């Protein structure tokens, strides 16, 4: 399944997760998990494995396109369960 197909399936299922980047830091992602909790992780391959709960200011986040986190392991790019 391609990233585009996964995102389309998530939209149809009403389970599209949001991805953000902090306005001041380019080396991390911030995104929702299936419970809509916000997590931050390194913007690198497999970075989701090193995630931690986001404790920053939500107002400082800029929404990003989900496909930008490809390869990080973020569940927003996995088919919805």
pLDDT in tens, 6-26: 778 877 877 788 999 998 877
- Read off the pLDDT band of 41 (50, 70, 90): very high
CA nearest neighbour of 72 among 12, 8, 3:
3
pTM assigned to the model: 0.83
Q: Residue 29: exposed, middle, or buried by beta-carbon count in 10 A (0-12, 13-18, 19+)?
A: buried
Write down the residue that tokens 């909790």 correspond to.
37
Question: Is it the case that residue 3 has pLDDT exceeding 80?
Answer: no
Cβ proximity of 40 and 30 under 8 Å: yes
Give the model's pLDDT for residue 80. 65
Give the model's pLDDT for residue 79. 66
């Amino acid at each position: 399944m391609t990233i585009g197909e996964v995102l389309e399936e998530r939209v149809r299922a009403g389970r599209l997760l949001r991805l953000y980047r902090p306005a001041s830091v380019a080396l991390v992602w911030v995104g929702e998990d299936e419970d809509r909790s916000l997590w931050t992780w390194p913007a690198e391959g497999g970075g989701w494995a090193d995630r931690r709960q986001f404790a920053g200011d939500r107002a400082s986040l800029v929404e990003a396109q989900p496909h930008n986190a490809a390869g990080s392991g973020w569940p927003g790019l996995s088919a919805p369960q």
